Structure 1
Amino acid sequence: MTWHVSEEDLRAYARGALAPPALWSADTHLSACATCRAALADAGDPAALDAGWERLDAELDAPRPGPVESLLVRLGVADHTARLLAATPVLRRSWLGAVTAVLTLTVLATHLARSTGSPTLFLALAPLLPLGGVALAYGPRLDPTYEMAVVSPVHGFRLLMIRTVAVLVAGLGLDGLATLALPGYGLSALGWLLPALALTTTGLALTPRFGPVLAPGAVGVGWAVLLYAARAAADGRTLAPFTAAGQGVAAVVAVLAAALLFAARDRFDFSLRSAA
């Protein structure tokens, strides 16, 4: 050490009277300097000294916010909400990287199959990504912070909505960027948006009954079956879910599922905690 806390500051620290920023400097220095810790032990009232050590221990043990959490706090998000958002599994680089790779390959495949006149593969896959993110966002088998989230003093429905916002921002954002790589299809390349909202809200509405993993999984299987049936009946035309009528049905399903989700909001505390 090239410097040490002054004797006057040590006495003030021991009394609990040292104010920031000198307090922060002393805390940091004392955590690494045995000489100053020994001097502090002789500096004043034992009770005040114990309080200082407790404060120092708490400072050393406090979790350090990551870059995502720090950014959310700077944007005005409450500390506890920012921590729950930052802990969402879908915000990890592994998930974001996997989704980006899948979308990239899908866009490339769509470009190679331009003879179809419709980005069917992309439209079929894109709605499943936000739905899959919901399944990964909350659950005892998939979320390493699940126990912490369950015991947090937050209504289960609000907790799930916080995580869902993170999923939708990430999933829909990546889907939107991929859509920009398909300019040749015009507005038809946006046909994934309403089905994505319909699938996500339906999966959430079924969560109190089937759980946070099985419900989105069942909805995803239902979407695959619907597309298979639509393809069999299409006879070379646009698949029914991506026609004007199909988009209208998706919008209605999204609204009805959102209403059902809101009506069942008080069941989330019991259902999500019973899954632990």
Structure 2
Amino acid sequence: MTWHVAEEDLRAYAQGELAPPLLWSADTHLAACARCRAVLADVDDPVRLDAGWERLDAELDAPRPRLFESLLLRLGVADHIARLLAATPVLRRSWLGAVVAVLVMSVAAAHTAHIGQGATSPTLFLALAPLLPLAGVALSYGPALDPTYEMTVVAPVHGFRLLMIRTVAVLVAGLGLNGLATLALPGYGLRALAWLLPALALTATGLALTARLGPVLAPSLVGGAWVALLLAARLQGAGTLTPFSAAGQGVAAAVAALAGGLLFLVRDRFDRFQGSAV
């Protein structure tokens, strides 16, 4: 042999980084040169050791998923979606604890009114329950309210899909807690479920307006309109507030359907809104 493969080339060969045509020359030469094979054996072990340490460092530095994220991963949710859901502010214990506290107080007030005054409907509970999902969705998306917003906007997810993922997660949590609170009001029968359609209508309307007004102003206006509607209905002096009557439930269903259609039509606005916020 009049020439041998350079040691740096042998090291690149061991790492799989040697490019043609040097790779082809090294393959042919190593088949016939015992000296270069011995040098390759000497450099191969350190290379494998370095690669092993790199893999160990990467494993040690990798973030450990918490209980909620681990549960989502076990259910087959994609890892980036699970991370986005785990980082949603309103799915944390502080928010959920506040929601539970509000619901407990409203259910207690409904029981007190029912026993002490013979009330015909849990007015306070019905008034507050539709606002909780609306507030939860508002707090789950937007640069002013979400501390993980920068992470979410660079996720490989369409802006509208990201909004829907977090909205569904918040609705499952919020409506689930509302449903449990409803079970604590068995004396009112189906009247205790009168919050469901208004909640869907308020949430859908808030989302549809978010594309134009932003994640703070839109739900604030919708929530304010709901409070104003309840106050106006209370001034009428009827036993059952209009939004919780049969006609009011029909209007809520129609508003939810219309707002859902409008939300679908303006879905592309969320990408522009997302980009401008960044």
Q: Where do residues 174-185 of structure 1 align in structure 2 (5 Å cutoff)?
A: 174-185=177-188
Q: Which residue matches 1:84?
A: 84
Q: Which residue matches 2:256?
A: 254
Give, in angstroms, the shift of residue 43 of structure 1: 9.0
Q: Where do residues 144-155 of structure 1 align in structure 2 (5 Å cutoff)?
A: 144-155=147-158
Q: Which residue matches 2:277?
A: 275
Give, in angstroms, the shift of residue 202 of structure 1: 0.5
Q: Which residue matches 1:242?
A: 244
Counterpart contact for 2:208–2:263, Cα < 8 Å: yes
Q: Where do residues 199-214 of structure 1 align in structure 2 (5 Å cutoff)?
A: 199-214=202-217
Counterpart contact for 2:205–2:222, Cα < 8 Å: yes
- Select between 75-84 and 163-172 the one with higher mean Cα deviation: 75-84
Q: Which residue matches 1:161?
A: 164
Q: Which residue matches 2:132?
A: 129
Instruction: Tell whether 2:113 aligns with 1:110.
Output: no
Please, which of 121, 141, 147 is the counterpart of residue 144 of structure 2?
Answer: 141
Counterpart contact for 1:211–1:275, Cα < 8 Å: no
Distance 1:275 1:230 in 2: 38
Q: Which residue matches 1:229?
A: 232
Query: Does the residue aligned with 1:117 lie in a helix, a strand or coil?
Result: coil
Q: Which residue matches 1:58?
A: 58
Query: Does the residue aligned with 2:143 lie in a helix, a strand or coil?
Result: coil
Counterpart contact for 2:85–2:169, Cα < 8 Å: yes
Please, which of 188, 191, 194 is the counterpart of residue 191 of structure 1?
Answer: 194
Counterpart contact for 1:208–1:272, Cα < 8 Å: no
**TM-score, normalising length from structure 2?**
0.81
Give, in angstroms, the shift of residue 152 of structure 1: 1.0
Distance 1:48 1:199 in 2: 60
- Identity between Structure 1 and Structure 2 (%): 76
Q: Which residue matches 1:120?
A: 123
Query: Does the residue aligned with 1:257 lie in a helix, a strand or coil?
Result: helix
In the alignment, residue 107 of structure 1 is paired with which amino acid?
Answer: V
Give, in angstroms, the shift of residue 227 of structure 1: 0.7
Q: Any idea what the Cα deviations from partners look like across 1:58-93, whole Å, max 9, x if unmatched?
A: 111111111001101111211111111111111100
Query: Structure 1 regions of 5+ residues with no counterpart?
Result: 1-13, 17-41
Distance 1:251 1:236 in 2: 22
Counterpart contact for 2:120–2:239, Cα < 8 Å: no
In the alignment, residue 156 of structure 1 is paired with which amino acid?
Answer: G
**TM-score, normalising length from structure 1?**
0.82
Larger Rg: 2
Q: How much is the aligned-residue C-alpha RMSD, in angstroms?
A: 1.8
Q: Any idea what the Cα deviations from partners look like across 1:27-77, whole Å, max 9, x if unmatched?
A: xxxxxxxxxxxxxxx995444333323222211111111100110111121
Query: Does the residue aligned with 2:240 lie in a helix, a strand or coil?
Result: coil
Distance 2:137 2:276 in 1: 18
Query: Structure 2 regions of 5+ residues with no counterpart?
Result: 1-13, 17-41
Q: Any idea what the Cα deviations from partners look like across 1:199-231, whole Å, max 9, x if unmatched?
A: 000000011101112211111011001111111
Give, in angstroms, the shift of residue 177 of structure 1: 0.4
Query: Does the residue aligned with 2:268 lie in a helix, a strand or coil?
Result: helix
Q: Any idea what the Cα deviations from partners look like across 1:163-193, whole Å, max 9, x if unmatched?
A: 0011101100000000001000000000000
Give, in angstroms, the shift of residue 141 of structure 1: 2.6
